[in-house]
């Protein structure tokens, strides 16, 4: 099997980006170990503090954030970092060529029940004319990502990543500590009969999404003419990993309970990197009105509605928005 370095070199990655990715993955391997220790290490449960999103932090949120922050700050490759768990951007090395945005532990509430969780990351070039602590440096559309991916902490620890030349899957070989290519150039099936959405929020959705899901639930007797299965992991990394492996559609749509927040998911830390992976694998990613990767961010913690997965099914869903 090919090693990570070999695949990155074949994909044309510059050396400094390869070194940055290896540095980031060193942090993820440490997180993987901490996660695997669970209750033995006393890392489960919540802290008494909230993050900038107003969410109660899990102990593993804080630990994972600190591990990534420390290793990237000391690497020399990164000009600044932005984390879902931090109020502001953090300046690192003034000569660093890259910016890194990350969700240190997506789905962290799953840690207490030993279910899927993961780290999501996005890498962009750093504008050299801006100071490292200037958040405007991060306000770039997702099309400007030079690399994006996630590390899934499941039965095996897996890296799913793209540097703009296809989406590849790697598995951590714990016998020697390296990531090996286990699926190259992943292609998401265009059609699907699976969907992932939090049905408990249906009454709060916009009309097009309510109508679309009602037609899915009608099965072979409804206008879609086929039966669908619903799967919901409650961690974006888990649901998107399933889509990449076997197709499907994932949605966290606009929710009227708080119109000031367009959606639950964050553009920079979740939507952009996952959309990059999905589109590099032949899938599609939209808010219902715009392609996610084309959105010009207005704030580092901006939220957006998310609809992504198999291209044929996402296009079918978007027809409901066009008709409305």
Instruction: Give residue-wise pLDDT tens across range 225-254.
Output: 999 999 999 999 999 999 999 999 999 999
**109 known ligand binder:** yes
Would you tell me how many other CB atoms lie within 10 Å of the CB of residue 52? Answer: 13
CA angle 138, 299, 289 (to 5 degrees): 105
All structural domains of the chain, each given as residue ranges with its CATH number in brackets, are: 4-183 (3.30.540.10), 194-323 (3.40.190.80)
Instruction: Give residue-wise pLDDT tens across range 17-49.
Output: 999 999 999 999 999 999 998 888 787 777 646
**108 known ligand binder:** yes
**289 known ligand binder:** no
Interatomic CA distance for residues 88 and 133, integer angstroms = 8
pLDDT recorded at residue 43: 76
User: Hey, what long-range contacts does 236-239 have (CB within 8 A, 24 or more apart)?
Assistant: 236/106, 236/107, 236/120, 236/265, 236/270, 236/274, 237/106, 237/107, 237/116, 237/117, 237/118, 237/119, 237/120, 237/150, 237/152, 238/107, 238/110, 238/115, 238/116, 238/117, 238/118, 238/152, 238/154, 239/196
pLDDT recorded at residue 218: 98
Can you read off the two tokens belonging to residue 137?
């440096």
pLDDT recorded at residue 40: 84
Q: What is the pTM (predicted TM-score) of this model?
A: 0.95
More confident residue, 165 or 110: 165
pLDDT recorded at residue 86: 95
Instruction: Give residue-wise pLDDT tens across range 116-167.
Output: 999 999 999 999 899 888 999 999 999 999 999 999 999 999 999 999 999 9
pLDDT recorded at residue 52: 60
**51 known ligand binder:** no
Note whether 265 and 324 are within 8 A (CB).
no
Instruction: Give residue-wise pLDDT tens across range 163-219.
Output: 999 999 999 999 989 999 999 999 999 999 999 999 999 999 999 999 999 999 999
Phi first, then psi: give them for residue 157, nearest 5 degrees.
Answer: -90, 120
**270 known ligand binder:** yes
**107 known ligand binder:** yes
**227 known ligand binder:** no
Is the pLDDT at 282 greater than 80? The verdict is yes
pLDDT recorded at residue 50: 61
For residues 257-275, give the mean pLDDT.
90
List the single range of 106-115, 161-170, 301-310 with lowest mean pLDDT: 106-115
The alpha-carbon radius of gyration of the chain (Å, integer) is 19
**264 known ligand binder:** yes
Is the pLDDT at 99 greater than 60? The verdict is yes
User: What's the Cα-to-Cα distance from 253 to each of 27, 29, 163, rounded to whole Å?
Assistant: 32, 32, 27
pLDDT recorded at residue 46: 73
**198 known ligand binder:** yes
pLDDT recorded at residue 299: 96
Instruction: Give residue-wise pLDDT tens across range 46-98.
Output: 764 666 665 667 889 999 999 999 999 999 999 999 999 999 999 999 999 99
Interatomic CA distance for residues 170 and 26, integer angstroms = 14
């Amino acid at each position: 099997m090919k090693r990570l370095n070999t695949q990155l070199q074949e994909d044309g990655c510059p050396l400094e980006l390869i070194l940055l990715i290896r540095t980031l993955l060193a942090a993820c391997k440490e997180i993987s170990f901490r996660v695997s220790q669970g209750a033995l290490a006393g890392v489960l449960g919540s802290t008494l503090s909230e993050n900038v999103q107003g969410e109660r932090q899990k102990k593993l949120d804080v630990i994972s954030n600190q591990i990534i922050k420390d290793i990237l700050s000391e690497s020399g490759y990164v000009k600044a970092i932005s984390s879902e768990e931090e109020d502001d951007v953090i300046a690192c090395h003034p000569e660093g060529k890259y910016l890194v945005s990350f969700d240190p532990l997506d789905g962290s509430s799953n840690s207490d029940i030993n279910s899927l969780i993961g780290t999501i990351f996005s890498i962009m070039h750093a504008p050299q004319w801006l100071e490292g602590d200037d958040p405007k440096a991060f306000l770039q559309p997702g099309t400007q990502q030079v690399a994006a991916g996630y590390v899934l902490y499941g039965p095996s620890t897996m890296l799913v990543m793209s540097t703009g030349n296809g989406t590849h899957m790697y598995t951590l070989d714990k016998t020697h500590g390296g990531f090996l290519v286990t699926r190259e150039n992943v292609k998401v099936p265009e059609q699907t009969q699976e969907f992932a959405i939090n049905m408990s929020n249906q009454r709060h959705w916009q009309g097009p999404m309510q109508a679309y899901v009602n037609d899915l639930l009608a099965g072979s007797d409804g206008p879609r003419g086929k039966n669908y299965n619903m799967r919901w992991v409650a961690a974006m990394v888990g649901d998107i990993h399933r889509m990449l492996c076997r197709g499907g559609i994932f949605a966290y749509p606009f929710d009227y309970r708080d119109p000031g927040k367009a959606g639950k998911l964050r553009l920079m830390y979740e939507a952009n990197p996952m959309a990059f992976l999905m589109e590099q694998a032949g899938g599609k990613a939209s808010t219902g009105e715009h392609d996610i990767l084309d959105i010009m961010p207005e704030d580092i913690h901006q939220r957006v509605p998310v609809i992504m997965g198999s291209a044929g099914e996402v296009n079918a869903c978007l027809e409901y928005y066009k008709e409305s």
